[in-house]
Amino acid sequence: RVSYLLKAVVYIGGYHFSTCFVTAAMVWKYDGRQNNGTPICLDQYQPSDLCNIQTLDGRVPSHFIYVLTASAVSIS
């Protein structure tokens, strides 16, 4: 069985992109045009946060980045 976790969403619009990414406990927003290019912590991570990924600052998702979970990897 293979399991993946959504870790980041890339948004595009207005000739520009931004991203929202998830660490172990926090949700972050990155936009090189804001906050001197430093990611902004949006909130503590809750699985329900991923339901709110349809737009970010008026931009729409263009890429979804997933990672293979450690529990999904078996070494024989």
Nearest alpha carbon to residue 65 among 2, 17, 7: 7
Give this prediction's pTM.
Answer: 0.74
Which of residues 22 and 73 earns the better pLDDT score? 22
Separation of alpha carbons 33 and 50, rounded Å: 24
Please tell me the predicted confidence (pLDDT) of residue 39. Answer: 93
Per-residue pLDDT reduced to its tens digit, 57-66: 888 899 999 9
Per-residue pLDDT reduced to its tens digit, 12-71: 988 888 999 888 788 889 998 888 989 998 877 666 656 667 888 888 899 999 999 876
- The token pair at 66 is 């997933």
Please tell me the predicted confidence (pLDDT) of residue 11. Answer: 93
